[in-house]
Amino acid sequence: MSKVVAVVGATGVVGREMLRTLERRAFPAKQVIALASARSAGKKLPFAGGELTVQTLGPESFAGVDIALFSAGAGTSREYAPIAAKAGAVVIDNSSAWRMDPEVPLVVPEVNPGAAAVRPKGIIANPNCSTIQMVVALKPLHTAARIKHLVVSTYQATSGKGQAALEELRTQIGDIAAGRTPKAEIFPAQMACNLLSDWKPGSDGYSEEELKLVNETRKILEDQEIAVTPTCVRVPVMTGHSEAVHAQFHRPMNAKEACELLRNAPGITLVEGDYTPGGEPQPLAAADTDPVYVGRVRDDLSVSGAINLWVVADNLRKGAALNAVQIAEIL
């Protein structure tokens, strides 16, 4: 059945990817509405061989809307998601606003699709980009042996911080090439040729981003006993998050078994073979593709029964827009 779909934050980097994903996957929409702030009203966005005219987001924007895809920040989601739900739309929200609300399911279709069916507030939350790709890779392993402890270090692309961050990185690269001193306005320090932890403080010395990996993983996998040790870092990559994951289980797991479980798992492309320099999944190759790539699956050298793996995905696709549209598809 065809649906009326609204994309809130349509002019942002994820909003534009949502539109491309709806088109690319031929989502059964009889109408797609592009919504954004007043300053973007009237802009034209390409869609399905034509154009969408951006409309100003307001309380009356959701009349007749069946599905509302939100990617406009937590503040906008907190204000407008309940309005959209009250108007009859199912809200799929990409912000952090509703993820840990006990009455809002946190859904990754390859992991917990059934959770989307129970949505007391009419809202479904899209997890954080770094969480999504990790739990897609870990779900088959967790089902087989139940995860006990994760140590995850992320290498996150600048597109996760938005369009302005991408533009600042490009400008900084140009400044360095021209012999000029780069300026940092969007980032807390120079991003080009550098690494940053640029998220808001959380608690106990961790950033908000790191705590999302802890709390969201437990909620999605429905296991509050999973221990998660996170370190999140921004890298001067345009698109594509990478993660080094160490996983311990309640029973021993080895690399051979892990590969057997991952080889045909939904949403995963497993990169196998002996180690070779440059043979691992890379963010440059993952950009503009849908899978979660898993490679370098190894037995841990110091913890018996534990494994290490390398996980890469396009943070704008599977880490945001694609996951949201997949949720809309399973509704």
Which positions are annotated as active-site residues?
129, 241
Measured in Å, how far apart are the chain's first and last C-alpha atoms? 11
Alpha helices in 146-199 (DSSP H): 163-177
Token readout for 209 is 């981003």
Q: How many CA atoms lie within 13 A of 121 on its CB side?
A: 20
Q: What residue type is assigned to position 4 of the chain?
A: V
Q: Provide the strand spans (E) within the chain.
A: 3-8, 29-36, 44-47, 50-53, 55-56, 67-70, 90-93, 123-125, 147-156, 227-234, 241-249, 268-270, 292-299, 307-313
Of 321, 258, 331, residue with least CA distance to 10:
321
Distance CA(171)–CA(249), nearest Å, equals 45
Q: Which two tokens stand for residue 168?
A: 């600042």
154: left (phi over 0), alpha (psi -120 to 50) or beta: beta
CB-count exposure of residue 181 (10 Å: 0-12, 13-18, 19+): exposed
Q: What span, in angstroms and rounded, lies between the C-alpha atoms of 202 and 215? A: 12
DSSP summary character for residue 330: H
